[in-house]
């Protein structure tokens, strides 16, 4: 996945967050459903940002950015910002 692809995915996930909040405000989904779906989106966002950081680090040290891999959610969700 290229950097522009990752940025597009991030934008799509942020749009999905906004849509969920709107649906909750309109009573189209329950608060529990919104929270469950938001938590999943946040984990996916963490993975995207982690992948971008990996790609940047590889470039910085002269390695191919394409060698960066998506890490499991269980790994990236425990990182501190």
Kindly report the average pLDDT of the chain as a whole number: 94
Nearest to 13 by CA among 52, 47, 56: 47
Confidence category of residue 41, pLDDT binned at 50, 70, 90:
very high
For 6-16, write each residue's pLDDT tens digit.
999 999 999 99
Tokens of 60: 């910085």
pLDDT tens, 43-71?
999 999 999 999 999 999 999 999 999 99
């Amino acid at each position: 996945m290229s950097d522009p692809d990752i940025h597009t995915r991030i934008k799509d996930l942020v749009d999905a967050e906004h849509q969920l909040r709107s649906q909750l405000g309109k009573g189209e989904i329950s608060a529990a459903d919104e929270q469950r779906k938001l938590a999943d989106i946040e984990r996916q966002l963490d993975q995207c940002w982690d992948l971008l950081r990996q790609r940047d680090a590889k470039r910085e040290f002269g390695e191919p950015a394409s060698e960066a891999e998506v890490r499991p959610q269980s790994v990236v969700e425990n990182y501190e910002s």
